[in-house]
Structure 1
Amino acid sequence: MSNLSRRRFLITAAGTAAGAVWLSACGGKKAATTTAPAGAGASDTEVKGATLGFIALTDASPLIIAKEKGFFAKHGMPDVKVVKQTSWAATRDNLELGADRGGIDGAHILTPMPYLLTAGTITKTSKPLPMYILARLNVNGQGLSLSNEFLKEKVTLQSPKIKEIADRKKAEGKLLKAAMTFPGGTHDLWMRYWLSANGVNPVSEADLVVVPPAQMVANLQTGTMDTFCVGEPWNQRTVNKKIGYTGAITGELWKDHPEKAFSMRADWVDKNPKATKAMLMAVQEAQMWCQDPANLQELCEITSKDKYFKCNVEDIKPRLAGTFDFGDGRSVTDSPLRMHFWKETDSHSFPYKSHDLWFLTEDIRWGYLPQTTDTKGLIDKVNRSDLWKEAAIAIGQEKAIPASDSRGKETFFDGVVFDPENPKAYLDSLKFKALT
């Protein structure tokens, strides 16, 4: 686990009293909802419900909206439950349990986690838990925030200042404390890539700690960390509370990067193929609903409720609308790098296998997966783009199906190119790795 201890992971994933106190003080607003009419999509499913987990992050919106606006019911799954999880560790544990034993059947999840579960590298039993990725829930929408202690440094996406801070900390006998949400997950990988590209070795020059998303703001306020990577609305909340600023948004790091996934236990999907297709259709329609600017206010009002994000509309809405106040004097309006849930021409919801390959390559880079991992075999086992295509056809969205399971070469902010046809060349070109 590199320089992240198992003990620290268990302690921080369990939550902190400071986080709980802060959450209780952040109120939500109510919103009226309507139900999607039943239509031709309704089917005779094997079951009428499933239990899905989510974390209080804006990119969980499609699952929440599929429930609140009646898309699950429309497609014959009226009894789907969407249940808040306290951390990604809790999501992992509840997926291992399964709904039959008081856990969950599927989840809004960090894209690498279904792979790590399937490989058995993060399960509590160390045994593989086969998972399927059914859809990508969003692209973009995460942030790299810093404490106001470093406001004068004006750290941005590409800046020598972050290296200067890390060197100063090390000279003081400390390490730059950087928080992320789960080892080997997206936020961990964004943080490591950002630090590495700016000359900071995440293994020897930074102390990466795990903090659940909703507790990031409270921990920054109490000085627990110097910088963190997390999804919205917590970066916006940091700026609103004037306790930190956003150094960069992850869309700047990699334009239209993949982020969360809709994933289910493989045994549940194999047992309930009709129900799976029905839920996938509902989620796709919910993604289209979330993408529509006409629904933005209602989306924010629904998700701000206590049972979902337990936060203010003002913390959720601006960045979804593409308005970014970085908190350091910079601001952007109508940014194309905001979170997207669905775009037919760019297939934002489609689970590209080339994107999953990048995540696996990075997890190999940092020692979360063995270098001998059969990445193609693992991706073919977990990524069910075939089911995504079936569901898209069923709701009349054939045009959203891309020509290939690969989006091709991807270019990062530092000029590095990931070619899915040659991931080894990409890996070999990177300066910092887990063992360096």
Structure 2
Amino acid sequence: MTLRTSRRKFLITVGASAASSILLKGCLGNPPSATNNASSSTPSAGPVAAGDAPETTTVKLGYVPIVESAPLIIAKEKGFFAKYGMTGAEVSKQASWASARDNVTIGSGNGGIDGGQWQMPMPHLITEGIITNGQKTPMYVLAQLNTQGNGIAISGIHAGKGLGLDISGAADYIKGFQSTNGRKFKAAHTFPNVNQDFWIRYWFAAGGIDPDNDIDLLAVPSPETVQGMRTGTMDAFSTGDPWPYRIVNDKIGFLAALTAEIWPYHPEEYLAIRADWVDKNPKATKAILKAVMEAQQWCDDPNNRAELIQIVSGRNYFNIPASILEPPYAGKYEMGDEKPAVNDFKKGPLYWKDDRGSVSYPYKSHDLWFLTETLRWGFHKNSITDIDTAKKIIDKVNREDLWLEAAKEAGFSDIPTSTSRGVETFFDGTQFDPENPEAYLNSLAIKRI
């Protein structure tokens, strides 16, 4: 089968055309001075030294218009890419996660992209050919883009039924929904077997609900899900801002939980680029990393949030009213359903540093959680068979070494000294120790493994 035929099969299957991606050349602004980086105590790097000049000045990075993409957009708009020599860097809006997958598989030379923003563990799955019809496209994970900024929204028809952070008290209601309504409780996320699927699965399972048997859980594009919540045919939705707050703002439903409550300071979405591009352009890769890191620091400065909102909400990027982004970026969430509002800057999106340490650094321990959760639910069981296999894939894909080199060359502070962030604790008390992922799996009541 030719690549063209294979890709056509992809697009028919997922119902999204990679050709529908829109290339956006952001307006280049003046690079801000180091004094604007309130969240970094180290002055930003100076002009690119001749020996550090990137091998190429161009790269095409894809993004999906949710808050996770902000560092890529800001690196373009505020001139950070240009500052580090990547004067031809482009950011390319993707019609869907499936389009992003297809576009990175064909590469920029064939009209696609070199890399960009990803839900995890998409880079690992693409590397192994697991979600690309067996066509392996090796990728490197280079940085985490953000933490938080996600939520689980519930249709307004379920108000007053106890659907909050802990839904154990609503388990009978959810499981019995079919007997009284003629269909199972229906929940959605935007792409299978990755971040937003994992968040809602964890939430359901912690409440005693089997997401594979007690409900219908499926991947649905965001607009279709919202319309389903309007008409009463969709019950729950796991996605990134601005969608959860928009659902509340439009009085379609309420927020059951923020992912910041489910797993405080959890790993969210990542920057990953094709391995062949990185191997060919190591200096350009580090230039991209420096630009993204500086953009992350800029994004985390509260004094810059108003400008950040104006930039990303614009027609070229998210194309939504700025007012929809203002509350989440301030950590202010009206939860609805008579729940107390959240007013905590640290529960909104963070990009450079949080109370656990670095946000940007690509901890291998976080990669391991995503692949351990993949094992938990029996995803790709013919390809990811055990923890040892997962670790081998992580060692191929995770390039924390390039992050460290770039951060040190740029003179940035807050550089982690370990590839592990240590033990992670979830809202229900469950712990994930990256030194013993088997114990985590054994502790879970609902699982497929």
TM-score (norm 2): 0.87
Q: Which residue does the alignment assign to 2:15?
A: 14
Q: Which residue does the alignment assign to 2:38?
A: none
Alignment of 1:36 with 2:44, yes or no, is no
Q: Which residue does the alignment assign to 1:367?
A: 378
1:29-428 residue pairs with structure 2 within 5 A?
34-36=29-31, 39-41=46-48, 43-123=52-132, 125-172=133-180, 173-213=182-222, 215-329=224-338, 330-343=340-353, 346-370=357-381, 371-372=385-386, 374-397=389-412, 399-428=413-442
My pick for the range that moved more, 76-85 or 209-218, is 209-218
Q: Check whether the contact 2:28–2:76 (CA below 8 A) recurs between aligned residues.
A: no
Tell me the alpha carbon deviations over residues 122-152 of structure 1, each in whole angstroms, 9 at most, x when there is no partner. 11x3122211010000011110000000012
AA aligned opposite 2:214: E
Q: Distance in 2 between matches of 1:94 and 1:283?
A: 21
Q: Distance in 2 between matches of 1:50 and 1:210?
A: 30
Q: Distance in 2 between matches of 1:192 and 1:160?
A: 14
Distance 1:323 1:13, change over 3 A: farther
Q: Distance in 2 between matches of 1:260 and 1:431?
A: 27
AA aligned opposite 2:365: S
AA aligned opposite 2:137: L
Q: Check whether the contact 1:133–1:262 (CA below 8 A) recurs between aligned residues.
A: yes
Tell me the secondary structure at the aligned position of residue 186 of structure 2: strand
Q: Check whether the contact 2:424–2:432 (CA below 8 A) recurs between aligned residues.
A: yes
My pick for the range that moved more, 148-157 or 63-72, is 148-157
Tell me the secondary structure at the aligned position of residue 116 of structure 2: strand
Distance 1:311 1:243, change over 3 A: same
Tell me the alpha carbon deviations over residues 67-114 of structure 1, each in whole angstroms, 9 at most, x when there is no partner. 011100111111111011111111111111100011100111102100
Question: Number of aligned pairs?
Answer: 412
Q: Check whether the contact 2:265–2:354 (CA below 8 A) recurs between aligned residues.
A: no
Q: Distance in 1 between matches of 2:251 and 2:15?
A: 26
Q: Distance in 2 between matches of 1:410 and 1:198?
A: 19
Q: Distance in 1 between matches of 2:337 and 2:136?
A: 45
Following superposition, the deviation at residue 177 of structure 1 comes to 0.7
AA aligned opposite 1:376: K
Tell me the alpha carbon deviations over residues 282-340 of structure 1, each in whole angstroms, 9 at most, x when there is no partner. 00000001000011111001101122111111111211111111122321212422211
Q: Distance in 1 between matches of 2:28 and 2:48?
A: 21
Q: Distance in 2 between matches of 1:216 and 1:241?
A: 14
Tell me the alpha carbon deviations over residues 187-209 of structure 1, each in whole angstroms, 9 at most, x when there is no partner. 00001100000011011111111
Following superposition, the deviation at residue 162 of structure 1 comes to 3.8
Following superposition, the deviation at residue 12 of structure 1 comes to 9.5
Q: Check whether the contact 2:352–2:360 (CA below 8 A) recurs between aligned residues.
A: yes
Query: Identity over aligned residues, as a percent?
Result: 48
Q: Check whether the contact 2:27–2:76 (CA below 8 A) recurs between aligned residues.
A: no
Q: Distance in 2 between matches of 1:15 and 1:50?
A: 23
Tell me the secondary structure at the aligned position of residue 160 of structure 2: helix
Distance 1:213 1:260, change over 3 A: farther
Q: Distance in 2 between matches of 1:162 and 1:79?
A: 52
Q: Distance in 2 between matches of 1:309 and 1:12?
A: 26
Two-structure CA RMSD over aligned residues (Å): 2.2
My pick for the range that moved more, 207-216 or 171-180, is 207-216
Q: Distance in 2 between matches of 1:268 and 1:347?
A: 26
Q: Check whether the contact 1:56–1:214 (CA below 8 A) recurs between aligned residues.
A: no
Work out which structure has the larger RCO, using CA pairs closer than 8 Å and 6 or more positions apart in sequence.
Answer: 1
Q: Check whether the contact 1:66–1:72 (CA below 8 A) recurs between aligned residues.
A: yes
Consecutive unaligned residues in structure 1, runs of 5 or more: 1-8, 21-30
Tell me the alpha carbon deviations over residues 382-408 of structure 1, each in whole angstroms, 9 at most, x when there is no partner. 1111111111112211x3211210011
Tell me the alpha carbon deviations over residues 171-229 of structure 1, each in whole angstroms, 9 at most, x when there is no partner. 24422111011111100000110000001101111111112345543332233410010
Q: Distance in 2 between matches of 1:192 and 1:11?
A: 27
Tell me the secondary structure at the aligned position of residue 81 of structure 1: strand
Distance 1:147 1:10, change over 3 A: farther
Following superposition, the deviation at residue 268 of structure 1 comes to 0.6
Q: Check whether the contact 1:239–1:245 (CA below 8 A) recurs between aligned residues.
A: yes
Following superposition, the deviation at residue 64 of structure 1 comes to 0.3
Consecutive unaligned residues in structure 2, runs of 5 or more: 1-9, 21-25, 33-44
